[in-house]
Amino acid sequence: MPSEKIQLENNLVLRSATIDDAEEVAEFNSIVMAEPPEMTPEPEIGEWTLDLFDGVNRRVGPSDFTVIEDTKTGKIVSSIVYISQVWNIGSVDTPMGMPEIVGTHPDYRRRGLIRKQFDVMHYWGKQRGHFFNTVMGIPYYYKQFGYEYALDAWGGRATARTALGGVLPKKDAKPVLSARDAERTDVPFIVETELNSRQRLFVTTTRDAQNFESEMFDRREGNMVFYRTRILEQEGVPVAYYEYNVTTKRDMIRVNSLEISSSVNWLDATSSMLVDLKKLADELVSVDGGKCEKVEFEIGSGHPAFKLFDSQFGSEKKPYAWVIRVPDVAALVSHISPVIERRLSASDLRGWSGDLKLSFYRSGLKMNFDAGKLTAVENTGPIERHEAHAHYPDLSFTKALFGQKSFTQLREALDDCFAEKRADHVLQDILWGGKQASGVLPTN
């Protein structure tokens, strides 16, 4: 983003924000993010904005915000923040960027102001070596900027507070693990334990000790992404943890993660968490104005905890999805080549050699394998139908790349997704791994 101002139409100027803009942008975001029909301001989004301006996330500062100012009124009328992160894809750390808190004042909408800022965000991503971008928000909206729904998010189960009980063998029994609030000294344990999730999840967020500590202890409690952490102990030794947040109306608890160390099993950890959650929820109800009738477990539909109890976890909560933009498909595929080679070596086609051409209709991808090693990847223009080994319409390849859908599932849903030969079809599901569980709690 150049330091000089970019003149847009009429009196509008697009520029990087400064620390002096913090309060105005925070207030703007809390108002512009109001949901119909009530259109009640969202102060927790304002608090999130202030934390980002203050550098609670060390990868973000005032200059990572873009603002569009109406110089006639002196008011900010549109704004976005670009959050640099590292996500882990199949054990490979991958730098990426997230445009977030995307908003325009109603009087200035449908003028392309978001598109102009997204152009800046995408330029920043290229300059910073980011392999992809992702955002979550208005349904369909971000597709116009080259994004595709490609990674499940927030799926799991939802239940009533009153249904959390009954997990212990006897009424007066105590849980195997005791629970307490996390302290700063617990951060090394949390960092080490969080890494265990990569054994079952394809895409996760890379968070180091500083990430965890700032998220847990430096964020404003009113921040919409303020998570509380509980430590589960066995004889005074931490063996598991879970993260949760409480809605501002105190009407619901959302559990965002549950992870265990190798010294404890999922049954003991899950039952102990449920007992602790029941206690926390009951305490919220006892506070004036508290309701907390609902508890959501947004930890992925395939989480091990869900296999152990039935009625306590309630009904399925279908996932939403991250929309993802991959500006250079060949670069990302090459970056995660260890994942692709590992899948191939463990398959019936181990040691395979040959060229593989994928058609995206208006563009394509060519890959070369030599004895199971990915030796070359390049983006191409359109590939003739008779030359392509598999066809992925529009941006559907992104779904396979991030493990949301297998090639087989895409083929069943999309008539123009197909492979010329059966072996080519099988190879697609091998290379991209098929549908895989992921769990992303971004460091935002």
DSSP class per residue in 97-149: EEEEEEEE-GGG-SSSHHHHHHHHHHHHHHHTT-SEEEE--STTGGGGGT-EE
User: Are 281 and 170 within one domain?
Assistant: yes
pLDDT tens string 121-136: 999 999 999 999 999 9
Percent of the chain at pLDDT exceeding 70? 99
pLDDT tens, 46-102?
Answer: 999 999 999 999 999 999 999 999 999 999 999 999 999 999 999 999 999 999 999
Say whether both 311 and 340 belong to one domain. no
- Same domain membership, residue 332 and residue 305: no
Q: How confident is the model at residue 171 (pLDDT cuts 50, 70, 90)?
A: confident
Tokens of 358: 């994928």
163 and 288 share one domain: yes
**Span 201-206, average pLDDT:** 95
In this structure, are residues 374 and 340 in contact, taking their beta carbons and an 8 Å threshold? yes
pLDDT at 406: 97
pLDDT digits (tens, 9 = 90+) for 293-322: 999 999 999 999 999 998 999 999 999 999
Please state the pTM of the whole predicted model. Answer: 0.94
Q: Does 117 share its domain with 174?
A: no
Indicate the pLDDT class of residue 388, thresholds 50, 70 and 90.
very high
**What does the pLDDT look like over 232-242, one tens digit per residue?**
999 999 999 99
Same domain flag for 175 and 305: yes
Q: Which residue has the higher pLDDT, 10 or 185?
A: 185
- The number of domains in the chain is 3
Check whether the bond before 188 is cis (ω within 30° of 0): no
Of 269, 291, 321, the domain-final residue:
321
Q: Considering only CA atoms, which of 284, 220, 277 is closest in space to residue 249?
A: 284
Q: Is 388 contained in some domain?
A: yes
pLDDT at residue number 169: 82
Residues 116 and 17 reside in one and the same domain:
yes
Inside any domain, residue 246: yes
Asked whether residue 186 falls in the same domain as residue 315, the answer is: yes
What pLDDT is attached to residue 188?
A: 97
Q: What is the pLDDT of residue 4?
A: 56
Q: In terms of residue numbers, what domain contains 54?
A: 6-135
What is the Cα–Cα distance from 381 to 383, expressed in whole angstroms?
6
Determine the Cα–Cα distance for residues 66 and 424; give it in Å rounded to an integer: 45
Asked, for residue 439, whether it belongs to a domain, the answer is: no
State the CATH number of the domain containing residue 275: 3.40.630.30
Query: Residue 339: what pLDDT?
Result: 98
Terminus-to-terminus CA distance in the chain, angstroms?
Answer: 21
Instruction: Decide if pLDDT at 411 tops 70.
Output: yes
End residue of a domain, out of 275, 299, 321: 321
- pLDDT for 110 equals 94
Average model confidence (pLDDT) for the chain? 94
Determine contact, residues 381/374, Cβ cutoff 8 Å. Answer: no
pLDDT for 34: 84
Does some domain include residue 33?
yes
φ/ψ of 195, rounded to 5, equals: -65, -25
* pLDDT classification of 3: cutoffs 50, 70, 90: low
**Are 315 and 349 members of one domain?**
no
Whether pLDDT at 2 is above 50: no
pLDDT at 1 over 50: no
